[in-house]
A and B are shown apart, each in its own frame.
Chain A
Amino acid sequence: NAGVTQTPKFQVLKTGQSMTLQCAQDMNHNSMYWYRQDPGMGLRLIYYSASEGTTDKGEVPNGYNVSRLNKREFSLRLESAAPSQTSVYFCASSEALRGRSNQPQHFGDGTRLSIL
């Protein structure tokens, strides 16, 4: 059981380049998330998808776009990378985000992105 799989694991970009981070989960979860992790700032939510067919902005959505391709896959795109987007990006999934759902999130191992 792979859980949440993120690709690539590492990437170096030049300012202005674009790229897409891929995420797939095999737990039949409804909700998926993208976070960035920066020293001293913890985890900040970029975008989330409460269910297939919906996406919503989180705390720090500027400079990013997302696509919920199907129930399994949720991608994050940087259209024009900036040095401030250097970070570790985590994808996560959970059974549901609605109402009294109390299930934890399951995380991938991250993509380490450096923008020069």
Chain B
Amino acid sequence: AQSVAQPEDQVNVAEGNPLTVKCTYSVSGNPYLFWYVQYPNRGLQFLLKYITGDNLVKGSYGFEAEFNKSQTSFHLKKPSALVSDSALYFCAVRDGNSGGYQKVTFGIGTKLQVIP
């Protein structure tokens, strides 16, 4: 079985400061990892993904994520937070080794609050 943990319900950061939203995962094969963002009253929007290759993945809106295989982590980062980054962030994983149908498992979400 695969799983995702987002250990922080909420992360507060001052505008202009770097931000990190944490994610750890468990999967039997090679992980395909995703980050999504959800703004109020909207659906999830895709930010970035890790499939293979460089451990640092760059995505939309200046976000990036660092894949660490030994720590089974995929933390979301941004060098300088904006108030408009305030939203709910979801990490997700699926097993990339599967030849059959494999569903994506989502974390419970982390609320990011950027303080002006």
Contacts and interface: CB of A to CB of B under 8 A. Distances in A.
20 contacts: A4-B43, A42-B107, A43-B106, A45-B103, A48-B103, A50-B101, A56-B101, A90-B44, A92-B43, A97-B101, A97-B102, A98-B100, A100-B96, A100-B97, A102-B32, A102-B49, A104-B36, A107-B36, A109-B43, A110-B42
Contacts of B10: none
B63 interface: no
Contacts of B36: 104, 107
Nearest to B91: A42
Contact of B108 (A4, A42, A92, A105): A42
Interface in A1-55: 4, 40-43, 45, 48, 50
Contacts of B90: 42-43
A108 interface: yes
Given A41-B108, A104-B49, A99 B100 contact: yes
Contacts of B99: 98-99
Contact of A42 (B49, B103, B109): B109
Interface residues of A, number: 24
A41 B98 CA distance: 26
B107 A97 contact: no
A47 B42 CA distance: 21
A3 to B, nearest CB: 9
A109 B43 CA distance: 4
Given A42-B107, A58-B103, A99 B43 contact: no
Contacts of B32: 102
B46 A104 contact: yes
A106 interface: yes
A110 B109 CA distance: 17
The residue in A43, A58, A107 that gathers the most chain B C-beta atoms within 10 A of its C-beta is: A43
Nearest to B30: A100
A43 B38 CA distance: 12
B45 interface: yes
The residue in B43, B90, B96, B97 that gathers the most chain A C-beta atoms within 10 A of its C-beta is: B43
Contacts of A107: 36, 43-45
B83 interface: no
